[in-house]
């Protein structure tokens, strides 16, 4: 039988782009048709029920039983008209995935007949059998009771005949077991803190929400090739593979034309996304071959996080129709770029003011400056926490690697904004500003938008970059649930704004005028947070040295970087802001360490298996062929000639032997290290052993295999090579 590798290649060459039909040329004709949104609600609910849902969305008030019954009935009527037969509470457990359990809309009546029903109580709350979701020891399995509760701020939607109701997931004792609960709490915290600060400038502000636009990067691999790579199937990444002679050096993939099959896939999932009300807008090729990006228009953070998860799910499903696999892993291929999920983040008021957009008048400039500087200060203060929330086995390959934001947190502002902050700083240290200078400075600030709109000031190496009217948190991994990093960011900024408010009030009590007080506090923050600001190349050697001079942390070890999640400082922060308590943080960290450990464990097993059962037999076979060949040469040539001819071949045989022995030995050692680590009870210690003692073997073993790949007969190599995975389509 020919290798799966060659069968797969033949299959790929026969592929044709699928035909995709648009439901209509106008997206607005079908945008959101599968969503129980405001307009549909108005049609299916009484005015009273509609208002109670809206009030709950805006003010976080509870919806009473009677209203819930009505909403449930309306939802069911709409959903069944659209062909839904089942419903599910859709939630985000602590794995980076979504969970759902489908129930039919039926109940037994007293007389034993089946009736269609969906009551308010089933809409509002459910008890999934959730014992096998990770909780980090918060629930023991025997009291594995957790419940899901309706989140009215994210509208219900229909996928595949199932009405999906976004919910939070909490334990019976009230601890959050999901990503959504703390995100919603962090949004409440920042709403409260930011609204109070806004009142210095604008009395009409009653609400502030974080906005979020997540640019999703991903790789596409043909289904047949994917299945011929057991490492991709089981670990989402290639554990071996020599670099292709050509990969991204020519930079010819970025923004170039999209291949037909890929573009059919994109159109197809975009149509599905629009039906679900996900405003996807931008699609393009990314830097690496077969790497792409999809960016939606930003939305309020909770909705954006839900939509990102839904989008990933959708892409996975639609890809199958096009014989593709989507790889969301942060680093599916060595050497070429990895994938991130750039989180564009800002704050918007109820009257539509983007608090990170530089305004035109002195007043709005000071408002802008206030939110800009407080965000920088928060990132400086909680850099380690922000780093901890994006740490994962997959993202480890990006953070600190040479082509992605490094593990050192820093903020890029661009020349103009930097200059402005420097000016304010100098004026403090050198002399006091005159009132004229101050208003001039404020006016100067007003000139920024025009300059920034040129968009020339981009720094693609910064983990946290100001991009003119928002921050772009670039270090977030492509596969992760963005709720966790955004929760940390919201909470840190909320806490910072509370501090700011307190300091301004204290000065005002000392009779310092309001604007002057704000200025003074901001100046102080600009100076204090200066070490986090960096405008240069984050990938360069110099930055490593400079960052260490500035005492910024650069933790490369993943379990160690996660420790910041449980520091006194973090516990205090989340506690003060009412987002997560100590027990919840401990539970979460345990889950994260557990997932990290298991991922490395699986990778180690898969690599061991492939090395022993796929690679070694292939290498040994080729080696025997060479040995056979040398024997033949010996028969044909006389001694002197044979020596000359065979010497290169003998070297090859030795080289192959060397790799074979090394692979055998290292796989054995790796298994031993795994056994040692597995005997360690404490999860933090175990994770540390996996990271320090097991993980390095993955690289060592791979190195030998990749060398063999270059030597061994191409005809017999069992796994699709990088040049095939990345270029054959």
Contact residues for ligand ADP, defined by CB under 6 A: 211-213, 215, 282, 295-298, 344-346, 354, 469-470, 472
In angstroms, rounded to a whole number, what is the distance separating the alpha carbons of residues 110 and 676? 60
Q: Which does 574 bind (CB under 5 to 8 A by kind): ligand ADP, Mg ion, none?
A: none
Q: Nearest distance from residue 456's CB to ligand ADP, in Å? A: 12
- Shortest distance, CB of residue 285 to Mg ion, whole angstroms? 11
CB burial class (10 A; 0-12, 13-18, 19+) of residue 645?
middle
Q: Please state, as a whole number, how many other Cβ atoms lie within 10 Å of the Cβ of residue 602.
A: 14
Q: Mapping DSSP to helix (H, G, I), strand (E, B) and coil, where does residue 193 land?
A: helix
Quick one: what does residue 211 bind among Mg ion, ligand ADP, none, with the CB cut-off 5 to 8 Å set by partner type? Answer: ligand ADP
- Angle between helix axes 514-528 and 483-509 (nearest 10 degrees) is 130
What residue 470 binds from Mg ion, ligand ADP, none (CB within 5 to 8 A, per partner kind)?
A: ligand ADP
296 binds, among ligand ADP, Mg ion, none (CB under 5 to 8 A by kind): ligand ADP
CB of 483 to ligand ADP, least distance (A): 15
222 binds, among Mg ion, ligand ADP, none (CB under 5 to 8 A by kind): none
Q: In whole angstroms, how close is the CB of 215 to Mg ion at the nearest point?
A: 5
Q: How far is residue 532's CA from residue 476's CA, in Å, rounded to a whole number?
A: 18
Distance CA 673, CA 689 (A): 8
Residue 139: name its binding partner from Mg ion, ligand ADP, none (Cβ under 5 to 8 Å by kind): none
Q: Which does 204 bind (CB under 5 to 8 A by kind): Mg ion, ligand ADP, none?
A: none
Inter-CA distances, 313 with 207, 211, 318, 561, Å: 32, 22, 9, 29
Under 8 Å between Cβ of 462 and 405:
yes
Query: Among Mg ion, ligand ADP, none, what binds residue 119 when CB lies within 5 to 8 Å by partner kind?
Result: none
> What does the binding site for Mg ion look like in residue numbers (CB under 5 A)?
215
CB under 5 to 8 A by kind: which of Mg ion, ligand ADP, none does 365 bind?
none
CB of 240 or CB of 347, closer to ligand ADP: 347
Nearer to ligand ADP (CB atom), residue 397 or residue 470 = 470
| Residue reference for tokens 């909490």 | 170
CB 357 → ligand ADP: shortest distance, Å? Answer: 7
User: In the complex, what is the shortest distance from the CB of residue 261 to Mg ion, in angstroms, rounded to a whole number?
Assistant: 22
Least Å distance, CB 290 to Mg ion, is 17
The item of ligand ADP, Mg ion, none sharing an interface with residue 469, based on CB under 5 to 8 Å by kind, is ligand ADP
Closest to ligand ADP by CB, 165 vs 287, is: 287
Task: Decide whether 187 or 708 has the Cβ nearer to ligand ADP.
Answer: 187
Give the CB-nearest residue to ligand ADP: 213
Which of the listed partners (ligand ADP, Mg ion, none) does 344 bind, with a CB threshold of 5 to 8 Å by partner kind? ligand ADP
CA pair distance 455, 669, nearest whole angstrom: 52
Nearer to ligand ADP, 211 or 491 (CB): 211
Instruction: Please state the closest distance from residue 210 (CB atom) to ligand ADP, in A.
Output: 8
Closest distance of CB 620 from ligand ADP, Å: 48
Task: With beta carbons less than 8 A apart as the criterion, state whether 463 and 489 touch.
Answer: no
Q: Give the H or E element holding residue 343.
A: strand 341-349
| Nearest residue (CB) to Mg ion, 215 versus 236 | 215
**Which residue is at the shortest CB distance from Mg ion?**
215
Place of tokens 């305004």: 359
87, 77 contact by CB (below 8 A): no
DSSP single-letter state for residue 276? T
* Cβ atoms of 550 and 531 closer than 8 Å: yes
Per partner kind, with CB cut-offs from 5 to 8 A, the member of Mg ion, ligand ADP, none near residue 325 is none
What torsion, rounded to 10 degrees, do the Cα atoms 725, 259, 215, 356 define?
140
Output 215 or 381, the one with its CB closest to Mg ion: 215
Given a contact cutoff of 8 angstroms between Cβ atoms, the answer to whether 272 and 314 are in contact is: yes
Taking CA atoms, 42 is separated from 48, 50, 153, 294, 350, in Å, by 10, 6, 15, 32, 22
Burial label, 358 (beta-carbon count in 10 A; 0-12, 13-18, 19+): buried
What single-letter DSSP state applies at residue 326?
Answer: E
Instruction: Report the nearest approach of ligand ADP to the CB of residue 262 (Å).
Output: 17
When the beta carbons of 230 and 449 are compared against ligand ADP, the nearer one is 449
Give min distance, CB of 525 to Mg ion, in A: 30
Nearest residue (CB) to ligand ADP, 44 versus 368: 368
CB closer to ligand ADP, 404 vs 433: 404
Helix (H) or strand (E) holding 271: helix 260-275
Q: How far is the CB of 224 from ligand ADP (least distance, A)?
A: 31
> Residue 457 or 603: which CB sits closer to ligand ADP?
457
Q: How far apart are CA 140 and CA 148, in angstroms?
A: 18
Pairing verdict, β 208-222 and 411-412: unpaired
DSSP 8-class letter at 245: S
* Minimum gap (Å) between residue 656 Cβ and ligand ADP: 46
- Measured CA to CA, the distance from residue 378 to residue 492 in angstroms comes to 5
Nearer to ligand ADP, 388 or 486 (CB): 486
CB closer to ligand ADP, 339 vs 691: 339
Residue 78 touches which of ligand ADP, Mg ion, none (Cβ within 5-8 Å per kind): none
3-state secondary structure 188-221: HHHHHHHHHHHCCCCCCCCCEEEEEEEEEEEEEE
Q: Which two tokens stand for residue 156?
A: 């219900």
């Amino acid at each position: 039988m020919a290798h799966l590798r060659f069968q797969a290649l033949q299959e790929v060459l026969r592929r044709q782009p699928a035909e995709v039909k648009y439901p209509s040329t106008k997206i607005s004709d079908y945008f959101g048709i599968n969503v129980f949104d405001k307009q549909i609600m108005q049609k299916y609910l009484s005015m009273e029920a509609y208002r109670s849902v809206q009030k709950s969305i805006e003010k976080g008030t509870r919806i009473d039983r009677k209203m819930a019954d009505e909403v449930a009935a309306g939802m069911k009527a709409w959903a069944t008209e659209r062909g839904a037969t089942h419903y599910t509470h859709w939630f985000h457990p602590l794995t980076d995935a979504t969970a759902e359990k489908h129930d039919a809309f039926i109940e037994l009546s007293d007389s034993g007949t089946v009736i269609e029903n969906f009551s308010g109580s089933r809409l509002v709350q459910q008890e999934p059998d959730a014992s096998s979701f990770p909780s980090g020891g918060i629930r023991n399995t025997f009291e594995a009771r957790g419940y899901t509760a309706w989140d009215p701020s994210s509208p219900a939607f229909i996928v595949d005949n199932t009405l999906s109701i976004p919910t939070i997931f909490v334990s019976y004792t009230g601890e959050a077991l999901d990503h959504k609960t703390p995100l919603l709490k962090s949004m409440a915290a920042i709403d409260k803190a930011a609204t109070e600060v806004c009142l210095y400038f604008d009395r009409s502000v009653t609400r502030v929400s974080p906005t979020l636009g997540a640019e999703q990067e991903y790789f596409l691999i043909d289904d047949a090739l994917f299945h011929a790579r057991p490492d991709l199937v089981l670990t989402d990444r290639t554990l071996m593979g020599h670099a292709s002679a050509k990969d991204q050096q020519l930079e010819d993939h970025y923004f170039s034309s999209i291949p037909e099959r890929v573009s059919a896939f994109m159109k197809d999932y975009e149509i599905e996304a629009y039906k679900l009300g996900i405003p996807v807008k931008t699609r393009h090729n990314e830097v690496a071959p077969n790497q792409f990006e999809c960016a939606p228009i930003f939305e309020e953070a909770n909705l954006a996080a839900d939509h990102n998860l839904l989008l990933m799910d959708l892409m996975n499903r639609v890809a199958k129709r096009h014989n593709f696999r989507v790889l969301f892993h942060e680093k599916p291929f060595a050497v070429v770029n990895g994938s991130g999920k750039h989180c564009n983040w800002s704050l918007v008021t109820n009257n539509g003011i983007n608090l990170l957009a530089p305004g035109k008048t002195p007043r709005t400039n000071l408002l802008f400056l206030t939110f800009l500087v407080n965000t920088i200060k928060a990132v400086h203060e909680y850099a380690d926490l922000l780093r901890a929330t994006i740490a994962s086995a997959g993202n480890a390959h990006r953070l600190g690697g040479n082509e992605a934001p490094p593990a050192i947190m820093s903020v890029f502002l661009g020349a103009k904004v930097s200059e402005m902050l420097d000016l304010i700083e100098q004026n403090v240290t050198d002399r006091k500003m005159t009132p004229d200078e101050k208003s001039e400075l404020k006016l100067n600030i007003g000139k920024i938008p025009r300059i920034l709109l040129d968009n020339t000031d981009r720094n693609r190496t910064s983990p946290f970059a100001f991009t003119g009217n928002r921050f772009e948190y670039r270090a977030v991994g492509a596969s992760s649930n963005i709720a966790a990093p955004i929760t940390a960011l919201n909470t840190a900024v909320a806490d910072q704004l509370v501090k700011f408010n307190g300091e301004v009030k204290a000065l005002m009590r000392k009779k310092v005028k309001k604007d002057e007080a704000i200025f003074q506090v901001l100046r102080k923050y600009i100076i204090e947070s200066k070490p986090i600001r960096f405008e240069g190349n984050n990938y360069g050697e110099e930055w490593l040295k400079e960052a260490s001079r500035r005492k910024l942390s650069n933790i490369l070890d993943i379990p160690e970087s996660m420790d910041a999640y449980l520091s006194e400082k973090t516990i205090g922060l989340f506690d003060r802001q009412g987002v997560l308590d100590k027990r919840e943080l401990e539970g979460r960290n345990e889950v994260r360490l557990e997932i990290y450990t298991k991922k490395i464990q699986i990778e180690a097993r898969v690599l061991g298996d492939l090395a022993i059962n796929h690679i070694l037999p292939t290498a040994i076979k080729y080696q025997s062929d060479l040995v056979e060949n040398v024997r033949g040469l010996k028969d044909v040539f006389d001694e002197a000639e044979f020596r000359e001819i065979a010497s290169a071949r003998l070297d090859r045989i030795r080289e192959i032997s060397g790799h074979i022995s090394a692979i055998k030995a290292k796989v054995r050692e790796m298994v031993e290290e795994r056994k040692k680590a597995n005997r360690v009870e404490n999860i933090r210690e175990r994770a540390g052993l996996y990271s320090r003692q097991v993980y390095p073997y993955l690289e060592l073993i791979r190195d030998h295999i990749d060398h063999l790949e270059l030597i061994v007969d191409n005809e017999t190599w069992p796994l699709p090579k990088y040049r095939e995975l990345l270029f054959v389509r």
